[in-house]
Amino acid sequence: MTGFPTRRQVLSGTAGGVLASLAGIPPAGAAFAATTYTAPNPRVRIDLNKGWRFVREDVSGAENPGFDDSGWASINTPHTWNAVDGADGGNNYHRGVGWYRRRYTVPSELAGKRLYLQFAGVNQVADVWVNGTYLGQHKGGYSRFRFGVTGVLVAGGDNVIAVKVTNARDTNIAPVSADYTFEGGIYRNVSLWAIDNLHVRMEDYAGPGIYLRQSNVTAASATVTVTTKLWNDSSTTRSVVVRSVIADKSGTVVAESSSTAQTLAAAAGAEIRQTLGIDRPRLWNGLADPYLYSASVEIHDVTAGADRIADVVTERLGLRSVAVDADTGFHLNGSHLGLHGVNLHQERAVKGWAVTDADHTQDFDLIRELGANAIRMAHYQHDQKDYELADERGLIVWAEIPLVNSVTDSPAFTASTQNQMRELIRQNYNHPSIVFWGIGNELTDYNGTATNRLLASLAGIIEAEDPDRLSTYAVRGEDPDNAQAGLHTRTTGFNKYYGWYYGSKDGDLGAWADNLHANSPSRKIAMSEYGVGASTTQHALNPPKPAPGGSWHPEEYQALFHEAAWKQLAARPYMWGSFVWAMFDFASDGRNEGDRPGINDKGLVTRDRQIRKDAFYWYKANWASTPTLHITSRRWTQRTDATTELKVYSNADQVTATLNGTSLGTLSSGDHIFRWAGITLKPGQNTVLVTATINGSTYTDSVNWTLA
């Protein structure tokens, strides 16, 4: 694992005198003089994203080193072949095979190291060869995977990596279907890792190999149990000491512990558990203070009196306690925190799924601007960058596997889905932002035997792998509240679309929630999805509910919907969280609605991240502490009716408005909505200006509307 970038240093030489120094380390929790620590990093990570060849078809013999790929396209990863055809409608995007090939010369100084080829995400099935040797197959489009390539990838020589990828429909791999485009390709990063023969395990479901379990976390103290999975790939028995060090942001050591020397046979592994106590910890406290420690595990080869640091893994550590109460909702570090946030997909215009770290960061900048304090990362495991950003920014995360719509009653489907559950947990166990593990979304056969047998097994995996976090599941809005599928987990989310697919936006959501809470007072419930479509080019004054599958999705209806929905949700603290569907418009090639086919337009921001819709500012006015002053319907620039209204979202106490320089007066509001009804536009251009004082500073916003 990469740990803190500032600590990624390769130190030469050995840790001189380590046995003597380790012998003097006090036990965990004992007082010791403050020392600073910089984690060594003997690992080498090499980026392999550049210089690939690609063809979107199945080609015989492409795995062979001598195959002629000169006619293939030159590409870099991340890459997908569905960025365009997966977002143009018709549900006819390419679902089949694509081949990738790359030549690479491994630095000769890596000879003698253990080499691993790592893929951060390939959709959906990947078969990998190096120099014509078949390494294996990975099934599942969203999790990281690694293959050991020692002895196959030749240091100092020319090597050929070949990857066959398919996103063809496979009923034995989840998801079989879902409301988004299943984009094919090596759409996340590719890298080569070189490590010592004595090392922290790399093949534990491609997890970090060290697992930081925290307990008894209070302002006074915290306990961290560090489990390290070791492996000895050398040809001889080694004597090993494991040292764990927890340091704060300044590098000051706050806890450390060393194991006694362990004998580890060749081609064998072991698990070492160490318990460390931290006095007066600075807690990871969400948006208010997302404080992160670093936890480093050093593997010392002390065979025959040596004292060599063979391997080091550093992970972030955020100390926090979490709980959900059926009446009072979510609690972080013992204090109530109402979770309000968004659902996030990994897709954007032009690039599709092949997004960069900078793209991930931009998404989180927009989510933070919105004022959200939680994210449901739908409907699959996301790139590590998303979880790292959530750790850094203090956002609470609901992470889930891609079990959507349907279950195939087969041993292969069950095994694959359970494997994806374990990959999600092992690979992301140390992220403090993750609080909820999701086992599925909107399974239509909600009372089916196969469905519930699988869900029960997934909930059991969570309890076995990580009993400290909370399991959850998202129930389809059309299903009964007591559907069996929603009863396996500690908490439950509900995807409710009152005011869009059914019912009214005005009151139905609140009435449903109150009824469920009254009838099932012990259930811990959340609103996992709610939202409506909106086009930034379609406008109407206070429009009625549009046809969801129709071509008319005026932006103003989305704003009215979210005004009503949030007021109902905010008034019900027993709901532990609510998540808008969705943060961004995204590709769903089977859709044909709104102003363009192939797009789910329920986002608060457009797919290209260029336009924040009016509803975005409604939530910003309610959720964010930053000053907000926004005139709605600003893109409705060409008007045909002289009589209209001016509506403003703001977190100011008062807003003053003028129309063409004439005062419309000053309004106060207790709900962040300021509305001047019945204003009259003059023929030609009209200028609207609003002004407000927020936290002692003056802010303005203006629009120009033209009356034909």
CA distances from 342 to 324, 460, 581, 605, 657 (A): 19, 27, 6, 11, 32
In whole angstroms, give the CA distance from residue 567 to residue 671.
9
HEC string for 476-515: CCCCCCCCHHHHCCCCEEEECCECCCECCCCCHHHHHHHH
In whole angstroms, give the CA distance from residue 324 to residue 337.
10
In whole angstroms, give the CA distance from residue 562 to residue 559.
5
In whole angstroms, give the CA distance from residue 48 to residue 78.
10
Contact 465, 422 (CB under 8 A): yes
Burial per residue of 88-108, b for 16 or more beta-carbon CB atoms within 10 angstroms, e otherwise:
ebeeebbbebbbbbbebebee
Task: State the catalytic residue, choosing from 400, 442, 556, 593.
Answer: 442
In whole angstroms, give the CA distance from residue 355 to residue 545.
34
Measured N-to-C along each axis, helices 357-370 and 614-623 cross at an angle, to the nearest 10 degrees, of 60
HEC string for 10-55: CCCCCCCCHHHHHHCCCCCCCCCCCCECCCECCCEEEECCCCEEEE
Question: What are the residue ranges of helices labelled H in 261-403?
Answer: 357-370, 384-393
CA distances from 112 to 153, 208, 209 (A): 11, 22, 21
Q: Is 442 a catalytic residue?
A: yes
In whole angstroms, give the CA distance from residue 525 to residue 474.
10
In whole angstroms, give the CA distance from residue 618 to residue 628.
9
Asked if the peptide bond before residue 582 counts as cis, ω within 30 degrees of 0, the response is yes
Contact 139, 71 (CB under 8 A): no
Q: Tokens 């909702």 map to which residue?
A: 329
Contact 589, 93 (CB under 8 A): yes
Radius of gyration of the chain (CA): 27
Q: How far is CA 670 from the centre of its chain?
A: 34
Query: How many beta carbons lie within 10 A of that of residue 25, not counting itself?
Result: 14
In whole angstroms, give the CA distance from residue 708 to residue 704.
13
Which residues have a catalytic role annotated? Answer: 442
